[in-house]
Amino acid sequence: MIFRKSEPPQSPEPAAQPSRPGSKGRPTRTRKEAEAARRRPLVVDDRKEARRRDRERANRERAEAQQALMTGDEKRMPAQHRGPERSFVRDVVDSRRNLAEYFFPIALVFMLVALVLPLIRPELTALLSTGMVVVLWGGIALCVVDGFVLRRRLRAALTERFDTVGAGLVGYGIMRAIQIRRFRLPRPQIRHGQDPR
């Protein structure tokens, strides 16, 4: 007995406790475990999908706004083009022939000729440079004078129609007058010489 090796006492197998009716069959979680299970990231898991949806929505809205600028649909136009005052300003500008819309294409052609012709006929360089200065600065001066005439006309027409001149309306009209007619957005809804709607 003294030399006999003692074996550790065998622990009896826990007997399967009969589950009570209505019990979970497992111990209740600790508070720490429950909070960890509820924790979710604040950022959407699928960021690529969210970005793709945002891009699609922005592209759709941009396409609708572009279509509205082409057709003249006021409800879908971007905010800077909406409203009866801006529509009236566009009509006033589109009904008249503005010098600036003709000046810029003519000036571009003249500059190209002035660049190419001296390569062919070098003796014309001095004459062309003088002519270019006269045409460009003269055209700019005429466009400025035409801008002042348009400014007075817009202010008078807006005061007559709406009893007031809203902020930025005259500048909106002058910027439209500078653009070439076929590239204006929103597209002109009336012809030259026609009365504004």
What residue type is assigned to position 3 of the chain? F
Distance (Å, rounded) from C-alpha 83 to C-alpha 74?
Answer: 7
DSSP label at 166? -
Distance (Å, rounded) from C-alpha 88 to C-alpha 78?
Answer: 16
* pTM for this model (two decimals): 0.66
Residue of 51 and 4 predicted with greater confidence: 51
pLDDT tens string 55-89? 999 999 888 888 888 888 888 888 888 889 999 99
CA geometry: angle 123, 112, 127, nearest 5 deg: 30
Quickly tell me which residue has 């971007």 as its tokens.
78
- Let me know if residue 7 belongs to a domain: no
- Let me know if residue 130 belongs to a domain: yes
Residues 6+ apart with CB under 8 A from 104: 178, 180
What does the pLDDT read at residue 57?
93
The parent domain of residue 162 ranges over 83-183
- Let me know if residue 30 belongs to a domain: no
Distance (Å, rounded) from C-alpha 89 to C-alpha 65?
Answer: 20
DSSP reduced 3-state for 177:
helix
- Let me know if residue 61 belongs to a domain: no
Q: How many domains does the chain have?
A: 1
CB atoms within 10 A of CB 87: 18
- Let me know if residue 8 belongs to a domain: no
pLDDT tens string 112-161? 888 888 788 888 788 888 888 888 899 999 999 999 999 999 999 999 99
pLDDT tens string 81-116? 888 999 999 999 999 999 998 998 888 888 888 888
DSSP label at 197? -
DSSP label at 196? P
- Let me know if residue 140 belongs to a domain: yes
